Structure 1
Amino acid sequence: MNWIDVVSAVLMIGGALSCLLGAIGLLSFPDVAARLQAATKPQTLGLILVLIGAALQLGFPEALALALVGLFQMLTAPIVAQLVGRAAYRADSIRRDTLVIDELGERLDRERGSAS
């Protein structure tokens, strides 16, 4: 067993643990905003670590394909989380008293005020 195998195994196990912690957080956090954090950040980190670990074991063309998968994940996960969070906010599924800064509420209030 060479050093690339060891690094690859450590990255894959670390990625799997990150995904596991994200799944546990998704099930145990109390509100939508916290669940969105658990659903996006550790899951994306875990996937990237697993992809890097797998890419170390593969040839260049396969590693390039895995890099594209990681790039797509990094581009889409934050956008989807933002859209889900905005929809949850508009559906009153987020406790607004727990927000430190409520920029969306201020914007919606301005839009409602100018529409009347």
Structure 2
Amino acid sequence: MALEIGKGDEVITPSLTWVSTLNMISLLGATPVMVDVDRDTLMVTPEAIEAAITPRTKAIIPVHYAGAPADIDAIRAIGERYGIAVIEDAAHAVGTYYKGRHIGAKGTAIFSFHAIKNITCAEGGQ
């Protein structure tokens, strides 16, 4: 909502994500655009993201998965080049470092405290 994502917009996210990511995109009236992840790293690649961008793309949500970081610098560079917001999904990698900094410490990020995450509060997120 803060990024004014809404009806007619598209949000790029990896195919390997939790349903809540898709639920929020749909709740805003936008269309999730799922891109395949790299089979070795299980991360969405900057190349796959860039190939999925259309004039309707409003945001990119890369997922840091299984305690490993996505290539967030390259993904942010794509967002800056196209004027598209990048929202890090750090729910599956709390405490992970990327180039000496905690993921989610720079820019906009999503964290989760769901019961299956490594830090829980029964339900909820940040």
User: Shorter-chain-normalised TM-score: which range?
Assistant: under 0.3
Higher relative contact order (CA 8 A, sep 6+): 1
TM-score with structure 2 setting the length: 0.24
TM-score with structure 1 setting the length: 0.25
Structure number with larger C-alpha Rg: 1
More strand by share: 2
